[in-house]
Structure formats: C-alpha cells, structure tokens
Amino acid sequence: MKNISHSNYKLCRLKPRPGDGHKGTFGRVFVLAGSVSMSGAAALASLAVLRSGAGVSVVGVPASIFGLVAAHSPCVMVKPLAELESEPGAHSMESIDDIRKEAELADVLAIGPGLGQSQPTQALLVSILHRITQKPLVIDADGLNILSRNRDNLRNISRRAIITPHPGEMARLVGTTTEDINSAREKHAIAFSKKHNVITALKGHTTIVTDGHKIYTNETGNSGMATAGSGDVLTGVIAGLLAQGYSMLDSACLGVFLHGVAGDVAARAIGEEGMIASDILAKIPDAFRYYHKLLAMGKSKE
C-alpha cells in the first residue's frame, strides 16, 4: 500500500462512532443525479454515501429511471422526480419544490453524477443554486459542466462547495485547455479555490486538494481506477464524510485518500485491468479499516 502524501496538510483522524448512535447521528445526504442513459452514476454515488458511514442516503432521479436505480440501490431511498413529457429521463424545473423539501431534510447536497446537460436540467441547477443557499454542496461531473456554461453562478457556491473536476472539467470551468491544466495542476487548483472560495479536488494521478491555502497531494490509487463511475463513487464518499461533520477540507482530502485506498485494495484482489467502479465501491469498508490500522500504529503523517 502506498504511503500518505502531503504538501502542507495533515489528514484528520476518523471520528469515533458513539455506541448509542442512530442513522440520524451520522447525517443525511441528498444526491441529485442520473438521467436516461446514466442511471448507474446515481446508484454508485448514493451507495458510496452509505459506504462512507453516513446514516441516510436519498437520491433524486427522473421518474422514468426510478425503477433502475431502486433495483441497484436497495439501501438507498430513491425519490422519483418530475420530468418533461418531451424529454423523458431528463431532470425538469417542475421538480424544484420536491428538491427543496429534500434539501431541507438533508445535511449535504451532492449534485452532478450522470445528471445530463439538457436545457431544462441546466435551468434546474441554476435555480437550485439560487434558491437553496444554506446547504453544503459536493458538485461533480455534469454539475460542473453546467456551471462552466453558467459561470456567473459560481458566486452562489462560494464558501459552501467542494468541487471534484477531472482536468477536462477544470479546463471548462477556467476557460482554458486540458493541456494547460495538466501543465500546472497545482497552480490552477489553488487559483480557482482562492477566486471562488471553494474546495477543489482536481482529480488525476496524484489528485490535488486545496482550499487555496492548504494543499494535499494524494498518492493512493492506481490506473485501474481510470474507469467510468469511479468519480461518482468519490462524490458519494466525500458527501458522506461531510454529512458526518467533517470539515469541508477534511472531507475532500480524506475522501480522496480513502477512495484511492479502496482502489488499491481492489487492484490487489483482482488486478487493475478488470476493475470497474463497483469494485472500488465494495472496497470502501476495507479502506476505512486500513486507515484505522494506520492511526492505531501512529503512522498517519503530515
């Protein structure tokens, strides 16, 4: 197993779980995700919320894919949301009241996995960012792609969001090329976090997490994790940690680390070539056990 890497950030310790805790003790996440061709993204993200220790995971999906996601996720509460008759399987503005009700109950909102980028979906996301202003956010995938087309709305996520872009998504957010991002990953991540007051987890080999001041460079993970759905699992892990009361920076850094450890455990079991995202999801408990062992041995380092 690879060692913990660092720049100027120390991974936090895991929170003790009280013996008298119940599902409400460990937080509730509402995941807005999925579309007609990407029901799996919603299932992976919402299950990863629970695998990371959160008490309740609710996923809102277009009504026409409700059955697919529910079948994948028996431990997740699946909320069917309104969709346009002209665009089945895509999120619609008509669901905004239901989403606001779920957001009121949730500790954290995770937005983006498999969301789609239709015009109604874009309008819905913009409305959510305007109307739901008090909840912490984890934004990934199509949530970021929509933001890159509506950059004025970045001000509506200031001080309350963790974003998890891959280099292409980061390039669209910044308005540059993927090559430019990859040539100066740390510089771009720090600059974006400072400008918009968000936590940035810029994914890739040695994922960089920063709040614009503190920096964590992750070394767990392997090339077997370069597979569709891996990022959806990461979104769920980070959101689940955030719901349990970890700080935004701790949630992002610890989530990236544990996600990578889960990938390393999966690779040791089955090899890198055949890994799929559900293999990473299945190994998240092993990642927690591994980190508990490191902490017990006093090997968590800056």
Q: What is the pLDDT of residue 5?
A: 43
Given a cut of 70, whether residue 61 has pLDDT beyond it is: yes
CA distance 267 to 221: 9
Instruction: Between 6 and 42, name the one with better pLDDT.
Output: 42
pTM: 0.96
What residues make up the domain containing 90? 28-296
Name the band, by pLDDT with cuts 50, 70 and 90, for residue 148: very high
Given a cut of 60, whether residue 271 has pLDDT beyond it is: yes
Q: What is the pLDDT of residue 302?
A: 40
Asked if residue 21 is part of any domain, the answer here is no
> Do the beta carbons of residue 28 and residue 54 sit within 8 Å?
yes
Residue labelled with tokens 């991540």: 189
User: How many Å separate Cα 26 from the centre of its chain?
Assistant: 17
Which tens digits make up the pLDDT trace of 280-292?
A: 999 999 999 999 9
Give the SS3 label for residue 29: strand
Asked if residue 23 is part of any domain, the answer here is no
Asked if residue 18 is part of any domain, the answer here is no
Q: In what order do the strands lie in the sheet with 208-210?
A: 77-81, 56-62, 28-32, 108-111, 137-139, 161-163, 199-202, 208-210, 215-217
- The average pLDDT across 250-269 equals 98
Asked if residue 181 is part of any domain, the answer here is yes
What is the total count of domains within the chain?
A: 1
Name the band, by pLDDT with cuts 50, 70 and 90, for residue 181: very high
Asked if residue 1 is part of any domain, the answer here is no
> Do the beta carbons of residue 24 and residue 106 sit within 8 Å?
no
Provide the CATH number for the domain around residue 239: 3.40.1190.20
Asked if residue 17 is part of any domain, the answer here is no
- The average pLDDT across 228-236 equals 98
- The average pLDDT across 193-204 equals 98
Instruction: Between 48 and 8, name the one with better pLDDT.
Output: 48
Given a cut of 90, whether residue 265 has pLDDT beyond it is: yes
Name the band, by pLDDT with cuts 50, 70 and 90, for residue 229: very high
Asked if residue 172 is part of any domain, the answer here is yes
Given a cut of 80, whether residue 3 has pLDDT beyond it is: no
Asked if residue 54 is part of any domain, the answer here is yes
Average confidence score pLDDT of the chain = 95
Given a cut of 90, whether residue 85 has pLDDT beyond it is: no
